[in-house]
Amino acid sequence: EPHQGVPEEILRLLRGSEPGTFDSALLAGGWNLLCQEGLSCFLECERLGVEVHVAGVFASGLLVSKGGTYAYRDAPAELVERTERWRALASRHNCSLPAVAIGFAALPRCVTRVVIGMANPQQVEQTMAWVKESGTVPCAVWAEAKELGLLSPATPVP
């Protein structure tokens, strides 16, 4: 059963409403280093002038910790392997994986906010350091990610 915030639900709401009904949308999942299913949603939001707030940038925590869960279940081996490929790519460019994840979430022009959950002061401090670092992720990361098959050739990058 789909839940609100997934790309298809946002598209359904936008297309079923009068123009100008929505000025923003929360995309919760569907746009992170492990899943870019939200691309069609971004394209529609850009066309309509709707701002997008992106949540789920750490893929249920998989992009900030070793192993773990994805979508509230044990992470499939394929996603753990893909995460490690991203981690190696980030490392080659002297970046942390969480900073690359935040930088990626903010790439689409229509994204005006990146939503990140934090549970304690230490996580706030660490997350703010990653946010600052995300502004220094080199464009070469995105080009190499496409070459490695980590990003679809259709994914718009700088």
CA distances from 90 to 17, 32, 153 (A): 41, 14, 19
DSSP classification of residue 59? G
**Which residue is listed with tokens 């249920």?**
60
Nearest 5°: CA angle at 19, between 107 and 30?
35
DSSP classification of residue 35? B
CA distances from 129 to 5, 41, 76, 123 (A): 27, 29, 29, 10
Q: Which pLDDT band, with edges at 50, 70 and 90, does 80 fall under?
A: very high
Indicate the average pLDDT of the chain. Answer: 91
Q: Which domains does the chain possess?
A: 17-148 (3.20.20.100)
Encode pLDDT of 111-146 as tens digits: 999 999 999 999 999 999 999 999 999 999 999 999
Burial of 58 (0-12, 13-18, 19+ CB in 10 A): buried
Check pLDDT > 50 for residue 3. Answer: no
Distance CA 105, CA 121 (A): 23
Q: Which pLDDT band, with edges at 50, 70 and 90, does 39 fall under?
A: very high
- Asked whether the whole model's pTM tops 0.75, one would answer yes
Mean pLDDT for the stretch of residues 31-51: 93
CA distances from 102 to 12, 13, 37, 107, 116 (A): 26, 26, 17, 9, 9
